[in-house]
Amino acid sequence: MVDKINISKIKKTAENYYKNGDFFCSEAVLKTIIDEFQVDISDDVIKLSSGFPVGMGNSGCTCGAISGGIMAIGLFFGRKIPKDPSVNEAMSLSAELHNIFKAKQKSTCCRVLTRNMELGSEKHMEQCVRFTGEMAEETAKLIADKLNIIII
């Protein structure tokens, strides 16, 4: 685990993963957080996020960038044993991430956010690249704040 993170690098890395076609939104956010926080976990975990892009498997529901951020929060604050109360911290931070996105974008629904956009169009790509970077950044801030990691 790191003692400091570069928040602009996190945002840019996630954006580039999406922009370059390396990963979709949820995958890009999760991979970036894992790498930049140097989480000791197999990259196989990124596979867990592969069903969330374009609003959960292209169904238009919750924005995948939010889902990727919530999965990253779970890596740090989730539970793996029954009745572990750490789940409350994960849920609280997940709600906070959701509310940050919703306050800024007015919706978390991919179908609403991409209304009147053609999937893969320049307008769609620009927006999703931006959402991916913003969610990686906000997720990193929430995690860093709770773990007393310095943000540069």
The tens digit of pLDDT for each residue in 54-101 reads: 999 989 999 999 999 999 999 999 999 999 999 999 999 999 999 999
Q: Specify the pTM.
A: 0.97
Radius of gyration in angstroms for the set of CA atoms belonging to the chain, rounded to a whole number? 15
d(CA 2, CA 66): 23
pLDDT at 54: 92
> What integer best gives the mean pLDDT of the chain?
97
Separation between Cα atoms, residue 19 and residue 35, nearest integer Å? 18
**Residue 151 counted as domain residue:** no
Count of domains for the chain: 1
Its domain, for residue 68, covers: 4-145
The rounded distance, in Å, linking the Cα atoms of 48 and 107 is: 24
Residue 4 has pLDDT above 90, yes or no: yes
- Residue 150 domain-assigned? no
Residue 72's contacts (CB-CB under 8 Å, 6 or more residues apart) are 29, 30, 33, 34, 139, 143
Amino acid 95: pLDDT: 98
Higher per-residue confidence, 119 vs 19: 19
Say if residue 1's pLDDT is above 90. Answer: no
152 falls within a domain: no
